[in-house]
A and B are shown apart, each in its own frame.
Chain A
Amino acid sequence: MDRVIVRFIAIIFVSLLLAGCWDKRELNELAIATAISIDKKDDEYHVAAQVVIPTELSTKGGTGSSPVTLYEANGKSVNEAIRKLTLVAPRMIYLGHLRIVVISEELAKEGIDGTVDFLSRGWELRSDFYLIVSKETDAREILNIQTTLEKVPANDLFNILHTSEANYSSTIAVNFFEMKTNLEREGKQGVLTGVQILGDSSKGSSKQNVESIVPEAFIKFEELAVFKEDKLVGWLNDNESRGYNGITNQVKSTVGIVSCPEGGNGNVSIHIKKYKSEMKSKKTNSNNPEIDLKVNIVANLGEVSCDIDLTKQETVKMLEKEFEKAVKTDLQETIKVVQEKYHTDIFGFGATINKENPEKWKKIKGNWDEIFSEMPVNIDVDAQISHFGSVLNPVGRSTSE
């Protein structure tokens, strides 16, 4: 009996020593990649990984050299390229803390299926990093720019995306999981935010880029890339981008401009505080579906440069009317552009119909793109201006009287 116990203990001990530690990786054996870029040129993928240099970021301060470094490799697939990164990097690239994946416009136009497959197959990757598309430039260039406030460029990209999405709503932070869902889901196509370099991109890589007040090169998020299936088909401009977010109820806060209601120069900025849009498929007898879009807005006055009397209820009512009209026009135009130019249902109208009326969806999904392009959308906007800020009447007006 004693022998059995001794053997049992021995087995446990041996298994601890032999089976344990097999996937052990010490922190200083990792190259923590915060962003990767994927380009495609001549059937070859080009992957660049932005790897942080921890000592440069520590509170003790580093040697003053760049806080990140870029490792690059080519390969027939993304996976191969990533493996080939070890030819240039001293440590295995660790993708667990990836925050941003930049896809080049060219690759996006060819299709991103393979890339998405790689990113979702690896167990090490989380699915909460953001996908962005580099516009009119190689994706690796985006990762090759030193940034000021955030030392790690990937964090800079990540945070710009976050703040702009929350405060201006022309961008949209699409994480990998959402994009993958859009690719697999019926009746909803994906969009990704575009990113571009302003200034002299060739000077962006050096640390000198961040030593002057105005950097030589910097990054700007602009326009939304419209996808059809896994391919990029076009871009939405600033106004349309906000329209897109407005339709899909992804506006958190933004600002809208209304020209003066009684004519004259100047305009009124309206700061949107609460925004809610609701999409419903209209019940019609005919086979042609219709979508009802109901938008509710609560807003504040942000800036007034018109000569209007805000103490009167009618003025406010009039402003609200004007604003409703402006929003409605914006939304309508966005829909029109997408319907006429791109023929791809990025708003998820199809998904709404599928959800509310699956029978109907089955009948129409075969030629959904054509139906979508023709489909009427009824927009109803209700805006309410609730706060005027710290002053009531426009600043110039009160003194002139």
Chain B
Amino acid sequence: MNLFKKNRKIVIQPSPPSKSEPKSMPESNSLRLKLEENLQHIKSSVGESSDIVFREIKIGNEGNIKVGIIYTEGLSDSVTLQQIIMETLMLEIKESDIDLELTSDSAVLTTLKDFALTVGELTEVSDFDQLFTRLLSGDVIVLVDGFSTGFIIGNKSWEGRGVTEPTAQTVIRGPREGFSENIRLNTALVRRIIKDENLWMITKEVGRRTKTNVAIMYINGVAEKDAVDEVTNRIGRIDIDGILESANIEEFIQDSQFTLFPTVFNTERPDTVAAGLLEGRIAILVDGTPFVLLVPALFVQFFQSSEDYYQRAVMASLIRLLRFVAYGISILVPALYIALITFHHEIIPPALLVSLAAQREGVPFPAFVEAIIMEITFEILREAGLRMPRAIGSAMSIVGAFVIGTAAVEAGIISAAMVIVVSITAISSFVPPTYDIAIAGRILRFVFMGIAASFGLYGILIGVIALVLHLCSLSSFGVPYMSPFAPFNLAGQKDSVVRFPIWKLLTRPSEISKNRIRQRATKVNFKKSSHSKRSQDG
């Protein structure tokens, strides 16, 4: 295992930030006094890119004060820029009582800030690093000649997707809004659900070049402080040039790098994030992606859909049970089929055996090869179906169904039973509500098929034991991955495979939060109260 550990260290170890980028004035990073120099420096730094707009104006009653306005076209709101910032500076200031030229030199900035610029978000800037980050995020930079300090005016506004229905995690009943690519919108969606001052947020910037905003959200007092520190710490150690999706973060912060199973949960549903936060989990929102991470993540969590809590408890429990069964089917059924067909004929009922034998009569391949061919064909079809333009979809499904289903059997290359096995496996693999756990099953299926072809049921059993051991060895931010099964926790069973009625779920999962009480009320006896009310009315 040392091999793996070494690799991991390489990935995580913070290397010294490289400063090798060519700068025209490498000696100092702070702003100059002269506006000319500053503008020149910015221009050369961005390579005179055409989307960076420079505007020089003169303000003051006499027009003696030179001001430079720099912004990125497309990322800044041009209406605000023109109607509020520029108008204020160029026109309204003259009409007002303020005379900038009369104020003392040092007070010009303060006056502008305090009396002139009628905007909400305004910060001072004195070094180029911050200036570039904000400029390229869409903010407006205002520089005044003669000062080595400028203003950053928050004016980000760009075209983005609005709040739309999540496509990866759909529900029949439940909120239909999903996260978007804009981190502000996403945090707002969560805040709109949890209006608690204890919903705290730590914001970090990750990625040397992308400078991606990452927000760590948690409920203070519910989430474990240690876990929050650990998350912050792990994210802080990431040193990479770009973060494009939350999956990049996930790979860096997950506990075990070499496992098929996801130890970080992701969702594009605000209600799922809110539920996680209320349970004491920590949400990691990354700018530029609708997928929000939730840690710590447990194995059972990947089989739970937010809809489980919106459906009736009995139904939800049965459906959860069904998901586990389906997951088992998707991993084990081809392997079991191979094992039975090649080794354990005696446990197949006689009538079925004869029927299977009749189907296999004349099939040229061993069962294992047959299964591999079919499974790979299916994987190819699935992958093709995922990425291809929608218009070709129907054509491909016809070809796929025809090739797999009919032609292969008719031609006597594949037995009909094998088609059934592959189909049931394929359908079952779509049952888990999260995609990540389903892919783990996809790989395991092939592993188990290999084992079954070599060692039969005995091998499958060994394989399952090894799998369970592996799952039990995993953890997610200090929480055992298989809890509440291993270590066993009776109270935790209320909301794992089955879901108890919501009024029975009095506590939070003990592994995740030490602040356990989530509700105090027991079930109200509505029947009685409504009856007494009626009798009073009468």
Chain A residues packing against B (C-beta within 8 Å): 1-2, 5, 16-17, 19-21, 23-28, 30, 32, 34, 52, 54-55, 57-60, 94, 96-97, 99, 124, 126, 152, 155
Contact = CB atoms under 8 A, between A and B. Distances in A.
B357 A20 contact: no
Contacts of A17: 454
20 contacts: A2-B3, A5-B3, A16-B454, A20-B459, A21-B342, A24-B342, A26-B342, A27-B345, A27-B356, A27-B357, A28-B363, A32-B345, A32-B350, A54-B361, A55-B358, A94-B345, A96-B345, A97-B350, A97-B353, A155-B350
B360 A28 contact: yes
A34 B350 contact: yes
B500 interface: no
A32 B453 contact: no
B45 interface: no
A58 B358 contact: yes
B334 interface: no
Nearest to B451: A16
Contact of A20 (B1, B366, B454): B454
B2 A20 contact: no
Given A26-B360, A26-B367, A30-B357, A20 B453 contact: yes
Given A1-B2, A99-B350, A19 B359 contact: no
Contacts of B345: 25, 27, 30, 32, 94, 96-97
Interface in B126-181: none
A231 B345 CA distance: 34
A20 B455 contact: yes
B27 interface: no
B154 to A, nearest CB: 52
Interface in B321-356: 341-343, 345-346, 350, 353-356
B362 interface: yes
Interface string B244-288: 000000000000000000000000000000000000000000000
Contacts of B363: 28
Contact of B361 (A16, A28, A124): A28
B348 to A, nearest CB: 8
Contacts of B362: 28
A19 B459 CA distance: 12
Nearest to B417: A27
A147 B29 CA distance: 99
B296 interface: no
B360 A24 contact: no
Given A32-B345, A97-B353, 17 more contacts: A1-B2, A2-B2, A16-B450, A21-B342, A23-B343, A25-B345, A27-B342, A27-B345, A27-B357, A30-B357, A52-B354, A54-B355, A54-B357, A57-B354, A60-B358, A99-B350, A152-B354
Contacts of A28: 357, 360-363
Interface string B357-399: 1111111001100000000000000000000000000000000
A374 B343 CA distance: 54
A241 to B, nearest CB: 28
Contacts of A152: 354
Contacts of A60: 358
A17 to B, nearest CB: 8
A57 B342 contact: no
Contacts of A32: 345, 350, 353-354, 357
B360 to A, nearest CB: 5
Interface centre among A24, A25, A60, A152 (most CB of B within 10 A): A24
Contact of A21 (B350, B355, B358, B454): B454
Contacts of B453: 20-21, 24
Interface centre among B350, B354, B450 (most CB of A within 10 A): B354
Contacts of B350: 32, 34, 97, 99, 155
Nearest to B345: A96
A71 to B, nearest CB: 16
